Amino acid sequence: MDLKIRKSAETYIIDVNGEMDLYNSYRLKELVMKMLEKKVEQFIINMENVDYIDSSGIGALIYICSTIKKMNLKLAICNIHGSVKKVIELTKLMGYFPIAGTVDEAIQKIAAE
Amino acid sequence: MADITQNFIFNPLWAQVFALLALYLTLRNVTLSKKLAVGSDFQQLLLVLFFGSILFAGLGLAGIAAYQLPVTLAVQAISAGIFLKILGRYTKKNYYSGWLLALNAVGFLVSVTLAALQVAWYFHFWESALIIANWGYVTYQFYEVSQYNTPKASVLLDARGTLTKLTLWIHGLIFLLVPFGGYQIPLVQMVLLPLSTIVYLWTLTFWHRRAYARMSHQRDLMEKNMNSQYEFMTRIGNAIAEKLDIDRVLDFVVHSAVKTANADGGAIFLVDEFDDVLRVKAVEGDFPPPYDVPAKVKLKANNLENFFKSTPIPLGETIIGECAATGKPIFVRDSKMDPRMVHNSRMDQIYIASLILTPLMQGKKVFGVLAIASRKSNHLFSREVLSQIKTFGDYTSLTINSLYTYLQLLEKQDMERDLGIAAEIQGQLLPSHLPRVSSVSLAAFSQPAKGVSGDYYDIINIRKGQILLTVCDVAGKGIPASLVMVMIRTITHLVARQPQMTVNRILDIVNWGIAGRVSLDRFATVAMLSYDFATHQLEYSNAAHHPLLIYRAEQDDFETLDTEGIPIGLERKTRYNQINTVLRKGDLIVLYTDGIIEAMNEKGQQYSLESLQVVIRDHHQESPEKLKKLIIADMEKFVGKAKQHDDETFVLMRVEH
């Protein structure tokens, strides 16, 4: 898994590339925690290039999502597809996560909040 | 006769002969003279001057002194040619000019004609002009050596100023003296002409000394360089061995760089992990920000330091950002000569005399910048220091890269050790044997991927005539996941036997007990059912697990049961639902985790629920224990050699009567 960060106005977009599994999901978690320490307030997690996620990956997303919710900051997860989408649907978390279609939609969603 | 004697004695060329002879003898003792091969050039010069002098004197003796000056001219022109040859030797370039040769040839003929015509004044003027032209050309060529195209040419660079100025001054002076007799007056002959030779002598000796000194300096420097680099490498190795701490390594690097370069201060800037800015990471000595700072900040040293440490530098901005953006070292030898350093070239708190920046790279990506600065205007960094700092930077990059890899490896090892312990805990969690009851027959299978499972199943006799089955999948692995399993198991065992307990209530309580107690990313999906042998009543509740699969023997068809609800461990107030159904003889229920239906073959295809259903339908009469083996065999056949990365668990229960 490879993480890249870019910025759109005040929103930081994290592009996740590769599989999110037991051996690397913690890195996404750590990255977001570090960004929170540095007072980043708006996040988008772009899952466009994630084709596989296991329960640890979902766990990392839940952790991130809940932490950001608690701090009253903004998050959107976008471009979930294929098996990742299936796993999130199966675990009945579609409503739990702030999901948006594309990165642009995610930016609008955050702006609208 | 007195005239002849005077001509012979005061022949200016004698002075040159003796001066060059002395030079030749001196240089023979210089070890380098052979290597530089100027010896033969001096022999030629000497011969030209010697025969020139004989001819000059001979002409004087013969009473045709007017022709002495064409001889002087020829001698000077040939000498200039030899100097150009020497220059060529040093720089591996050809400096002879056809124009110069033609000019000298014409000049010679004109001077011979003028001598024959006895027009003294023009004659001297012409002579001097030509001599100046020759030496002017030589000095101009010396001046043109503006590049170090050979190592030896650098010596010429150092000598060219002296050569140019002195030669021009002396010949210029002779030129000015032409109206008063030019070469004929004793001052010129006794002082100026010998002096002009001494210029060459001095300059050439100077070249040799410089060349020698430079070579030995470079040797010393290389030795020193090697020593300091060797020391740097061993010490950075030790720093890592002592403690795997990147900050300490960086502190050490900047300390060593400052010490080796004899700089006043140094700093390391690291590229922020998620922002395109550089931040000051380690500072050593006195290193002012190499960019403009607000005037207010400059007033107090404390403010300046705080400002420097707290102000991020955007990539591409300021000289540091430039270094990080381009990934190339930057060498500011003298801040006064560099427009980028205009703010640091005034003698104030942020004055920097000389600055070296080198990028720290991970592959092709710049992750930081190593910088050193000198704040003394009389101590500017040299190219040698630049190459040393570059080596430091490269080695630091290499070290930090391997350190990162090592840390990741350690982390992985830790994780694996952790998994080993977890596997042991789990071994004691799963039921060691299945309950033996006559109403139903049971089978269970659980196979962890990579030695430790996130899956857990249990079959509990909750009260007489009633059984509870559960399958759960905890996110993550290792000890934390095992602890969640322990919690789920403990709570389930404690509350399941209480009267009036329903499966959805059990899930409520399990969730209530776990949510908020464990890290959110340790959530679990749990499917739980209870079955009453007497009433054939099945109660099912699901916390975001796969729906329950039921094979109805009578209809030879499958049915799924599901209830709403998010995974266990996320929100404390979650309430789970329950769904009931009645089973008949021969009905078979299957609880499974996603590892079963998502088992992948080498083509990337999944085993799928459909394949599982086909095996079950084809063999539903077999005992669950036999059916279990058939399912496993079918799955193994499907996945082939593909490595599975999820745990595989299923529980089968068939109603016998």
Question: What is the Cα–Cα distance from B510 to B472, expressed in whole angstroms?
Answer: 12
Assess if residue B418 is contained within a domain: no
Q: Would residue B168 count as lying in a domain?
A: yes
pLDDT digits (tens, 9 = 90+) for B435-485: 888 899 999 999 887 667 788 999 999 888 899 999 999 887 778 888 889
Q: Are A110 and A13 in contact (CB under 8 A)?
A: no
B296-334: pLDDT as tens digits = 777 777 788 888 888 889 988 899 999 999 999 999 988
Q: Which CATH number belongs to the domain containing residue A94 in this structure?
A: 3.30.750.24
Same domain, yes or no: B470 and B323: no
- Which residue matches tokens 């599975």? B644
Of the candidates A54, A66, A90, which has its C-beta nearest B520's C-beta? A66
Contact criterion met (CB below 8 Å) for B48 and B79: yes
The H or E element spanning position B605 is: none
Q: How near does any CA of chain A get to the CA of B561, in Å?
A: 14
CA angle B84, B89, B90 (to 5 degrees): 100
**CA torsion through residues B139, B143, B149, B150, sign:** positive
Q: Do residues B202 and B280 both lie within one domain?
A: no
User: Number of residue pairs across A and B with CB atoms under 8 Å?
Assistant: 76
Total domain count for chain B? 3
Per residue in B98-145, pLDDT tens? 777 887 888 788 877 777 777 655 666 777 777 777 777 777 776 665
Residue B469 is part of a domain; what is its CATH number?
3.60.40.10
Average pLDDT over residues B358-369: 89
Asked whether residue A84 carries a pLDDT value surpassing 50, the answer given is: yes
Q: Is residue B503 part of a domain?
A: yes
Which residues pair with residue B361 across a beta bridge?
B366
User: How far is the C-alpha of B75 from the C-alpha of B78, rounded, in Å?
Assistant: 5
| Residue B539 β-bridge partners | B530, B580
Q: Does B171 touch chain A (CB under 8 A)?
A: no
Q: Are residues B33 and B138 in the same domain?
A: yes
Distance, CA of B548 to CA of B530 (rounded, Å): 12
List of E strands, B48-194: none
Domain boundary among B351, B375, B407: B407
HSE-up of residue B48 (Cα within 13 Å, Cβ side): 21
Q: B263-272, B364-373, B400-409: lowest mean pLDDT where?
A: B400-409
The distance from CA B504 to its chain's CA centroid, rounded to whole angstroms, is: 58
In a domain, B235, yes or no: no
Cross-strand bridge partners of residue B527: B471, B542
- Closest Cα of chain B to A109: distance in Å? 22
Number of domains in chain A: 1
Residue B148 has a pLDDT of 43
- The residue out of B216, B234, B256 marking a domain boundary is B216
Contact B475 A87 (CB under 8 A): no
Residue B513 is inside which H or E element, if any? helix B503-514
Q: Which residues are CB-contacts of B101 (< 8 A; sequence separation ≥ 6)?
A: none
Q: Identify the residue with better confidence: B234 or B188.
A: B234
CATH at B334? 3.30.450.40
DSSP B646: S
Residue B234 counted as domain residue: no
Does B129 share its domain with B247? Answer: no
B525 touches A at CB < 8 Å: yes
Residue A39 near chain B (CB below 8 Å)? no
Q: Are residues B435 and B385 in the same domain?
A: no
**Chain A contact for B595, CB < 8 A?**
no
- Same domain, residue pair B351 and B260: yes
What domain range is A12 assigned to?
2-112
Cβ contact (<8 Å) for B521 and A59? yes
Q: Mean pLDDT score of chain B, rounded to an integer?
A: 81
Average pLDDT over residues B598-611: 88
Asked if B570 lies within 8 A of A66 by C-beta distance, the reply is yes
Give which of B430, B418, B526, B549 is closest to B473, Cα–Cα: B526
Tallying the residues shown for chain A, one arrives at 113
B523: closest CA of chain A, how far (Å) = 6
pLDDT at residue number B22: 65
Bridge partners (DSSP) of residue B458 are: B470
* Containing structural domain, residue B310: 243-407
Q: How many CB atoms lie within 10 A of CB B603?
A: 7
pTM, whole model, 2 decimals? Answer: 0.56
Quickly tell me which residue has 């750590």 as its tokens. Answer: A30
Asked if B391 and B436 sit in the same domain, the reply is no
DSSP 3-state of B296: helix
User: Is there a domain that residue B416 lies in?
Assistant: no
Assembly ipTM: 0.74
For position B120, what pLDDT does the model report?
A: 59
Instruction: Say whether A40 and B274 touch across the interface (CB within 8 A).
Output: yes
